[in-house]
Amino acid sequence: MKKLYLSNTDRKIGGVCGGLGEYFEMDSTVFRVLFVLVTILSCGIGIVGYLAVWMVIPRKPNPGKAG
C-alpha cells in the first residue's frame, strides 16, 4: 500500500510538493505551480492550505536510522 510522506530529497520549503510528486509519480513542479496559482487566485488561502498539509503529512522514515 502506497503512503503519502513529505519528501526528504525533493524539497524547497517543507517537502509537501515533493511528497505529492513522489506519491502521484509526477513532477513536483506541477504541484508547486498549482500551489502558487491557488495562493494568487484565493488571496493567500493556498499558504494556509500548504501549512496545514505540511503539519498533517508525516516525514518519510529514514531506513538507515536506528530508532
pLDDT of residue 60: 82
The CA-atom distances, in angstroms, between 66 and each of 28, 61, 63 are 29, 10, 8
Asked if the structure places residue 6 within a domain, the reply is no
- Name the pLDDT band for 18 (thresholds 50, 70, 90): very high
Asked if the structure places residue 36 within a domain, the reply is yes
- Name the pLDDT band for 10 (thresholds 50, 70, 90): confident
Number of domains in the chain: 1
* Structural domain boundaries enclosing 34: 16-56
Q: What is the 3-state secondary structure of 27-65?
A: CHHHHHHHHHHHHHHCCCHHHHHHHHHHHHCCECCCCCC
Q: What is the rounded average pLDDT of the residues 6-13?
A: 88
Asked if the structure places residue 5 within a domain, the reply is no
Interval 19-55: pLDDT, tens? 999 999 999 999 999 999 999 999 989 899 999 999 9
